[in-house]
Structure 1
Amino acid sequence: MEIRQYRESDLDSVLESWEVATRLAHEFMTDEFIAQERKNVAEMYIPNTDTWVAELDGEVKGFISLMSNEIGAIFLQPNYHGKGIGKALMDKAQFLHGDLEVEVFKENAIGRNFYSKYGFEYLEEKHHEPTGQQLLRLKFTANKSSNRDAVTGAHFLRR
């Protein structure tokens, strides 16, 4: 497995990973909301974030998008959950930025479990107007990193 910087040629693979993982972890999202967000991911989010991909055998199987120390998204193809890829992506983010913050939907059990096992801690809860769902804001403190488990997962975050 290689963790490398995103290239424009990765867009279709990144969008596929995003949509499959989003549908798995966010049953409450409508098809219309997902279609709009897919467009936003391609046109607004990816071009304005520092995105890294996990490549296995020449194929992108997941990605993480960062806005400084904020994790905007981390997604994996579901068949690759539990194989160390999510952890490797998160380790790259932690290496680049130290302390990290993220927002995850309260209903996203996959994402919440992943963040918890990695060592993220609760900061606050707020309402996400577009979906009507609750968002949890979490923080990872790098100097506590020795306490985290070696865990992987996939999830979507934010928007």
Structure 2
Amino acid sequence: MAARVAAMVGQVLPLKTVAPSMMVTARTQPFLTPVVIGIDRPLSFKQSAVGSLVIGGGILGKPCPDEDTSYTVMDRMPQSAVATLEAFPALAHVPVLRTWTGLEGATPDGIPVIGPGQGTPDLWHAFGFCGHGFQLSPAVGEAVARSLVSGTREATLAPFDCGRFASRVAA
């Protein structure tokens, strides 16, 4: 949707729609507080406050942005389960209850677009968080708000400028 809004004012910004998939297990005894991320395998793993395990890690479903939905591709899900059991073999008895996917915007460089549009200083973009929106949005919202109130873009937002794609789009 964000790329479509940009296009309405003549800006072409590269944004691909992806559908990250997650699995949720039955509740189990709490044993882990931090989020576990796999460096060499598709794994993102956390335990909810009620004990359910939420397992992901880059396994993609099928995005259907024109229908505003996505679908789990079930034959891809075992990759996350295997990675989880390699890290935590004691969880082999915990059943997966459901899977889900959601639509997410991804930029080519994996970095969000944050700041005013090219040639449209009154239209600000904040999209393409590539799966990190929940973590980044509070700080981004604060930096954007300060920029808008002061009338000057904060220097910390410069690397996220949409102009970084200008040469790629024109090429």
Structure with more helix by fraction: 1
Q: Taking structure 1 as the reference length, what is the TM-score of the superposition? A: 0.23
Which of the two has higher C-alpha Rg? 2
